[in-house]
Structure 1
Amino acid sequence: MENKQKAFSKLIKDNQGLIIKVSRLYTHSLEDQEDLFQEIVLQLWKSYDSFQGNSKISTWMYRVALNTAITLFRKKTRQPQTDELQDFHSKDFLEDNDEKQQQISLLYKVIKLLPDVERAIVMMYLDDEPYKEIAETLGITEVNARVKMNRLKKVLKELMIKHA
């Protein structure tokens, strides 16, 4: 059991960036990001024994993380919105507001406007995941992943211009 926990802890530590990205793209506040991060880790732990190695570990982790995020996102959208401060972003309070940080913040903002599957495709594409892994994670064909990403590039350019 101790070896299993050590292996799992190392897996989370080595891949925490993946979990952080999913948490950031599917939430609006730092508190929600932290909650989603913890929920993803919990779901990964629950399904850790069922990972059979039929795909890359990162593909499995993306699948669990995205399913957890989308499930929680859908549950939250069914509840009445009580947080009127959700449009405030930490970038509004950062002192270092250079152009690159502004572009990154804008990119995250427009990615959040995309539907769940498209948001996941963009996130994995930005992580340099091969189309084969994107397709496998999302349960679509590799060709479909490529086509969607090409269309999404155009949509993102338009959204960035519109929201700049």
Structure 2
Amino acid sequence: MRHRAEQSGSIPRDKTEPEWFASALSRHGGIIRKVAWTYCRSAEDRADLTQEILAQVIAASDRYDRDRPFATWLYRIALNVAIGQVRAVYRQARVMVPLEDSHSGIAAEPVDHERREARAALDAAMLELDPYNRALLLLYLDERSQREIADIMGLSPSNVGTKIARLKRHLRGSLGLVEPEGDDA
């Protein structure tokens, strides 16, 4: 069972500031990798985005409030940097940065054929989403609570619930599971 501080996303305070920050970053570094995998197609682009996220995290480290969950703070920075880069690329090339063809680097467990097909269909549907809804879906798929998503995205929890419901309805339509009721997402 995880330590209570790990469950809440905070890190014990028995370390000096640099040690504490390095420990927190090490413990939650998977967040940066997930965001990079979600927003970048090539390994080189993922490495560049990861480096930019880390630079922004280090630059903002003195503004982190240790009374709040580190994971929430890290997600907010990582997503803001990723969305900013997507927007910059989109403005320059007028195309979206596609999602990686495979997320096998994220999951540690083997995936059967049906799950791979379902994941490929979900990835294709995610490609059609704008960066904001892609971030919302990433947090939802990462099983973050509505309150955590609200903190990360700067929304109210009820607004998050509404946006997730619309996004799910849109994805069901995109995946052919039900007819879409409108293009709300």
TM over 0.5: yes
Match of 1:149 in 2: 164
CA spacing shift, 1:133–1:90, aligned 2, 3 Å:
closer
The equivalent of 1:70 in structure 2 is: 83
Q: What is the TM-score when the length of structure 2 is the normalising length?
A: 0.72
2:143 matched residue in structure 1: 128
Name the counterpart of 1:12. 25
Shift of 1:134: 0.7
Give deviations 1:26-74, integer Å, cap 9, x for gaps: 2222221121112111111111111023531111111100110011111
Which one is further off, 145-154 or 34-43? Answer: 34-43
Runs of 4+ in 1 over 6 A off after TM superposition: none
Q: Aligned equivalents of 1:87 and 1:126: distance in 2? A: 15
Aligned-pair CA distance for 1:76:
1.1
Deviations 1:92-118 (A, max 9, x none): xxxx88221222232223223212221
> How much has 1:79 moved relative to structure 2?
1.8
| 2:133 and 2:167 in contact (8 A); partners too | yes
Higher alpha-carbon deviation: 65-74 or 101-110: 101-110
The equivalent residue for 2:63 is 50
Range that drifts further, 141-150 or 100-109: 100-109
Number of residue pairs the alignment of both structures matches? 154
Q: CA RMSD in A?
A: 2.7
Partner of 1:34: 47
- Which structure exhibits the higher relative contact order, with contacts defined as CA atoms closer than 8 Å and separated by 6 or more residues? 1
Q: Secondary structure at the match of 1:79?
A: helix
For structure 1, the residue ranges without an aligned partner over 5 or more in a row are: none
2:73–2:152 CA contact under 8 A, matched in 1? yes
Instruction: Tell me how far apart the structure 2 counterparts of residues 119 and 37 of structure 1 sit (CA, whole Å).
Output: 17
Letter paired with 1:19? I
Amino acid in the other structure paired with 1:25: T
Greater shift, 48-57 or 151-160, is seen at: 48-57
Identity %: 31
TM-score, reference length from structure 1: 0.80
Q: CA deviation at 1:155?
A: 0.9
- Alpha-carbon distance between aligned partners in 2 of 1:38 and 1:14, rounded to the nearest angstrom: 17
Deviation of residue 10 (structure 1)? 2.5
Flag the structure with higher helix content.
1
List runs of 5+ in structure 2 lacking aligned partners. Answer: 1-15, 104-110, 178-185
